[in-house]
Amino acid sequence: MKIKSQKDFFAGLMFMVVGVAFAWGATTYSVGSGARMGPGYFPLMLGILLALIGSVITFKALVVETEGGDKIGAWAWKPLFFILAANFLFGILLGGLPSIGLPAMGMILGIYALVIISSLAGNEFSLKGVLGLSTILAIGSYLAFVVLLKLQFPVWPSFITG
Amino acid sequence: MDLLNNLALGFGVAFTGQNLIYAFVGCLLGTLIGVLPGIGPVATIAMLLPATYALPPVAALIMLAGIYYGAQYGGSTTAILVNLPGESSSVVTVIDGYQMARKGRAGPALAAAGLGSFFAGCVGTLILAAFAPPLTEVAFKFGPAEYFSLMILGLIGAVVLASGSLLKAVAMIVLGLLMGLVGTDVNSGVARFSFDIPELTDGIGFVAIAMGVFGYGEIITNLAQSDEDREVFTAKVEGLFPTKEDFRNMIPAVLRGTALGSALGILPGGGALLAAFAAYTIEKKTKLRPGEVPFGQGNIRGVAAPEAANNAGAQTSFIPLLTLGIPPNAVMALMVGAMTIHNIQPGPQVMTSNPELFWGLIASMWIGNAMLIILNLPLIGIWIKLLTVPYRWLFPSIVLFCAIGVYSTNNNTFDIWMVGGFGFIGYLFNKLGVEPAPLLLGFILGPMMEENLRRALLLSRGDWSVFVTRPLSAGLLAAALLLLIIVLLPAVKNKREEAFVED
């Protein structure tokens, strides 16, 4: 059988998997009856509904002809990786990872790391420009979030501030 | 006059120096972020939400209203100048707006959008003030069954207007509802789908979803396109003000757009979007005056009417939110989340228990609209400059603001992990051609729906027929069914598909 719409086929598949997962998870809680709904009742209902809709979408993707096969196309691995890596690295530097004994390095270092890594996701990269941008953003964020809005951030590495 | 008294109360609250400053700052920030290409109002509001945390509730809401209008207007600016609709309702503005900009008439186009929006906003605010109290009375007659049916109607309304596949939009809503259920069940205290992660027992943070899916997801998608696809209009904008001839064309269009928008905005489910489309269609059907530019080539009516309709609709879509506590679209869903952070549960009780807040908010909406005109017409030059900021500087800053913003919601790095995960999911959604806005709506409504379904069935002893035997509830369900049937009619279906590809 040929897939007639790749996007719909995989979207349907995703909905089916997620729906079944939620429904299956819901059965581990008490389901109860309509008059006395347990915590599992509504998620079970919705999970089954989602799986059903997903299967209809998948079925239609196999039957209904679409122009050009509705291809998903190439994945943009580069921006995907660098944007998410920048995000996670920022989190690690900001808060530290107590589970492996990594101390918090604070917001300022995190900002430099985030801007440098995320800039790698773009097509052009100039270290000078990126460092300039990081410095501006670091000063701006410090003024806006810490001084002006008084949000609580670890600003500097914890081993310096103690 | 009750209406005048109420409005006076509201303006008394909103017209303090401090609150005016918050409205101003909100508008400024909202426009500043909203004007950046590739960031829609949802992402803008999610990103700026942390800026309101430290404020008292009234001030925070006023600032949020400012951010909301600023984001909307900023979105129109990008739509007109860059041919990049930041949200679905400015899709029609793009058609004639961008053509005007290419002809060097970006100034009049932006002014038409601004003035049209302002007028529509004023009318919308009055309608909101006049209709909210009687509707609140109705809302008190609503039992759980009615609320449940109303939410069904709202969700159906939202998907009907979504572009693309109806079925996929419904699936996204259900997915959103399910995600909304993650966390501790209020009735039994069972932590559902939390995988023993303490942070998840409070539920998934909606800011993390909004920023991840709308912020990161869109950045990754944008970066995946080559630079040539992002045509930025940088030519000089001359002659800000519309000519006399422009005004003569514009005024009736704005009036028609406002009327249409006010009426359609009240409907639960993306009323503003429908209003913008309908307003554009009507303008297209009316006869061209001699010497007028045809539609699709830069007719000012094609900008003024949908923008007015859009803003009037946005204004009146606060009615279901404030009277019933039900958000009609993704932006409003975000506003609900924002209000809950400030310990305000939107719904009929807000008006009676907290009239200062309620009327203050309504007054601040008008102030927000006025602020936009004061701020944006003179500053159009600056916003245009902002559009020329290269994307390679823009996107790292957006990533940074998202990461900092999401961290500050709970001061917990867990939210940073979540927003990264949702960034991936957002890109996946984009690749699979599913629209994320219904997901956010479902996410906010999930717990409310479960609660009302539970109560309704508890009262009826498990009898599902309660939804059709109570007249109000039956009426709402019938309306939802009618909507579905209308959309599925072949004639309308083709028209709908046509409307969404027309750009």
pLDDT in tens, B389-408: 777 888 888 888 888 888 87
Q: What mean pLDDT is reported for chain A?
A: 85
A–B interface: beta-carbon pairs under 8 A: 199
CB distance B403 to B416 below 8 Å: yes
Determine the Cα–Cα distance for residues A35 and B460; give it in Å rounded to an integer.
7
pLDDT of residue B1: 56
Percent of chain B with pLDDT over 90: 4
Best of A42, A56, A64 to disrupt the B interface by mutation (most B CBs within 10 Å)?
A42
**A137 chain-B contacts, CB cut-off 8 A:** 396-397, 400
B362 or A20, greater pLDDT = A20
Q: What part of B 360-419 touches A (C-beta under 8 Å)?
A: 391-393, 395-397, 399-400, 402-404, 407-408, 411-413, 416-417, 419
Tell me, yes or no, if B450 comes closer than 8 A to chain A by beta carbon: yes
Tell me, yes or no, if B424 comes closer than 8 A to chain A by beta carbon: yes
Nearest chain B residue to A86 by CA distance is: B399
pLDDT of residue B66: 84
The mean per-residue pLDDT over the stretch A117-145 comes to: 86
The mean per-residue pLDDT over the stretch A20-40 comes to: 87
pLDDT of residue B502: 43
Q: What is the DSSP string of B96-139?
A: HHHHHHHTT-HHHHHHHHHHHHHHHHHHHHHHHHHHHHHHHHHH
Confidence of residue B204 (pLDDT cuts 50, 70, 90): confident
The mean per-residue pLDDT over the stretch B308-322 comes to: 82
Determine the Cα–Cα distance for residues B169 and B382; give it in Å rounded to an integer.
38
* Cross-chain residue pair A149–B432, CB shorter than 8 Å: no
Phi/psi for B17 (5° steps) reads -55, -45
The mean per-residue pLDDT over the stretch B360-388 comes to: 78
The mean per-residue pLDDT over the stretch B291-317 comes to: 82
pLDDT of residue B174: 93
Confidence of residue A56 (pLDDT cuts 50, 70, 90): very high
The mean per-residue pLDDT over the stretch A69-90 comes to: 86
The mean per-residue pLDDT over the stretch B245-254 comes to: 82
CA distances (Å), B470 to each of B131, B418, B474, B479, B503, in order? 24, 42, 6, 14, 44
The mean per-residue pLDDT over the stretch B359-365 comes to: 80
Q: What is the ipTM, given to two decimal places? A: 0.91
Q: Where are the alpha helices (DSSP H) in B388-436?
A: 391-410, 414-431
pLDDT of residue B177: 92
Residues 6+ apart with CB under 8 A from B292: B249, B299
Length, in residues, of chain B: 503
Q: Is the pLDDT of residue B233 over 60?
A: no
Determine the Cα–Cα distance for residues B153 and B320; give it in Å rounded to an integer.
12
Q: Is the pLDDT of residue A85 over 70?
A: yes
Determine the Cα–Cα distance for residues B448 and A52; give it in Å rounded to an integer.
23
DSSP H or E segment with residue B184: strand B183-184
Each residue's pLDDT tens digit, B426-485? 999 988 888 887 888 888 888 888 888 988 888 888 888 888 888 888 988 998 888 888
**B432 chain-A contacts, CB cut-off 8 A:** 7, 10-11, 14, 72
Confidence of residue A88 (pLDDT cuts 50, 70, 90): very high
Confidence of residue A54 (pLDDT cuts 50, 70, 90): very high
Best of B22, B199, B399, B408 to disrupt the A interface by mutation (most A CBs within 10 Å)?
B399
pLDDT of residue B436: 82
Distance of residue A104 Cα from the nearest chain B Cα, in angstroms: 11
The mean per-residue pLDDT over the stretch A62-85 comes to: 82
**What total number of domains does chain B contain?**
1
The mean per-residue pLDDT over the stretch B292-303 comes to: 80
Confidence of residue A14 (pLDDT cuts 50, 70, 90): very high
pLDDT of residue B37: 66
* Cross-chain residue pair A83–B408, CB shorter than 8 Å: no
Q: Is the pLDDT of residue B273 over 80?
A: no
* Cross-chain residue pair B462–A33, CB shorter than 8 Å: yes
The mean per-residue pLDDT over the stretch B80-88 comes to: 67
CB under 8 A, 24+ apart: contacts of B226-229: B227/A123, B227/B391
Q: Is the pLDDT of residue B115 over 80?
A: yes
**A92 chain-B contacts, CB cut-off 8 A:** 413
Q: Is the pLDDT of residue A162 over 70?
A: no
Q: Which two tokens stand for residue A139?
A: 């000063």
pLDDT of residue B279: 82
Distance of residue B54 Cα from the nearest chain A Cα, in angstroms: 7
3-class secondary structure, B307: helix
Tell me, yes or no, if B282 comes closer than 8 A to chain A by beta carbon: no
Q: Is the pLDDT of residue B227 over 60?
A: no
Q: Is the pLDDT of residue B214 over 90?
A: no
C-alpha torsion B145→B150→B156→B160, nearest 10 = 160
**B417 chain-A contacts, CB cut-off 8 A:** 88, 91
Closest CA to A57 of A108, A3, A121, A129: A3
Rg for chain B (alpha carbons), in Å?
22
Q: What mean pLDDT is reported for chain B?
A: 79
Nearest chain B residue to A14 by CA distance is: B432
**Among A45-54, B117-126, B426-435, which range has the highest average pLDDT?**
A45-54
Each residue's pLDDT tens digit, B170-181? 999 999 999 989
pLDDT of residue A152: 74
Confidence of residue B503 (pLDDT cuts 50, 70, 90): very low
Among the listed ranges B136-145, B212-221, B334-343, B485-494, which one has the minimum average pLDDT value? B485-494
3-class secondary structure, B238: coil
**B341 chain-A contacts, CB cut-off 8 A:** none
Residue span of the structural domain in which B117 resides: 2-501
C-alpha torsion B412→B414→B416→B418, nearest 10 = -140
**B398 chain-A contacts, CB cut-off 8 A:** none
The mean per-residue pLDDT over the stretch A57-77 comes to: 81
Determine the Cα–Cα distance for residues B62 and B185; give it in Å rounded to an integer.
32
Q: Which single residue is written with the structure tokens 């939107």?
A: B346
| B464 → closest Cβ in A14, A18, A34 | A34
Confidence of residue B313 (pLDDT cuts 50, 70, 90): confident
